[in-house]
Amino acid sequence: MPTLRVWARIEVLEGDITRLPVDAIVNAANSRLAGGGGVDGAIHRAAGAAELQAACRKLGGCDTGDAKITPGFNLHARHIIHTVGPVYRDGQHGEPELLASCYRRSLEVAVENRLKTVAFPAISTGVYGYPFEQATKIALRAAADFLDQYETIEHVTFVFFGEQDYVAATKVLEAVRGD
Ligand code: APR
């Protein structure tokens, strides 16, 4: 069970993830790492699409639930960790485990690269259709469990796009902390 000290290292924010000055922002990518719409498109535009695409091409794609790293190029963030969330079907096709794995693997990649501050978007909750509250619960729990084990990650920010998602996420955070 994560302690209060762990929850103090987790923050929920409303805003645009591309603007955050953290060691790494996480991208909700596709398995070809080819760029796309949503947060992926915003990150590619803000980082510099040509350079980031060239870096992504060298990675040879990414499995669902896995994560890979590139430089952040023009972003304030020094790195981008690309992870591929599951497409939501009915929750009975391994989606919860794969979504949790996105958060865990992204944080593992951060540890491997000696990064201390990481910001996540709400992976899979846009085009990939994951129900928002369920996804946010999984995200917060996965991060808290990880931080409990790895002291080197100092701060994890969850960035929500728009007030509605932000308010919903703060409620999920309260519920998860109280579990
Ligand atoms: N900052 C933070 N969050 C954002 C931003 C932004 N600039 N832009 C969008 N979002 C939010 C959306 O509101 C949504 O809650 O990111 C969340 C994830 O939505 P998507 O970007 O659609 O990601 P996902 O559901 O994981 O689908 C991935 O979308 O375009 C593609 O290439 C991507 O194929 C992949 C798929």
Please write the tens of the pLDDT for every residue from 62-119.
999 999 999 999 999 999 999 999 999 999 999 999 999 999 999 999 999 999 999 9
Distance CA 92, CA 71 (A): 35
Task: Give the pLDDT of residue 139.
Answer: 98
CA 171–ligand 1 middle distance (angstroms)? 21
Q: How confident is the model at residue 15 (pLDDT cuts 50, 70, 90)?
A: very high
Q: Is 145 marked active-site? A: no
What's the pLDDT at 132?
98
Report pLDDT for 1: 73
Q: Ligand 1: list residues with CB < 6 Å.
A: 16-18, 28-30, 36-40, 42, 85, 121-128, 159, 161, 165
Angle of helix 95-112 versus helix 132-149 axis, rounded to 10: 40
For residue range 27-74, list pLDDT tens digits in order. Answer: 999 999 999 999 999 999 999 999 999 999 999 999 999 999 999 999
Task: Tell me what the mean pLDDT of segment 153-158 comes to.
Answer: 98
Helix (H, G, I), strand (E, B) or coil at 162: coil
**Confidence (pLDDT) at 43:** 98
DSSP state of 82: E
pLDDT, residue 37, reads 97
CA dist 42 and 115 (Å) reads: 22
In sequence order, the 6+-apart residues with CB closer than 8 A to the CB of 63 are: 31, 84
Beta bridge partners of 29: 84
* C-alpha of residue 28 to centroid of ligand 1, in Å: 6
**Closest C-alpha residue for ligand 1 atom 21:** 38
Is domain 4-168 annotated with CATH 2.60.40.790? no
Q: Domain spans of the chain?
A: 4-168
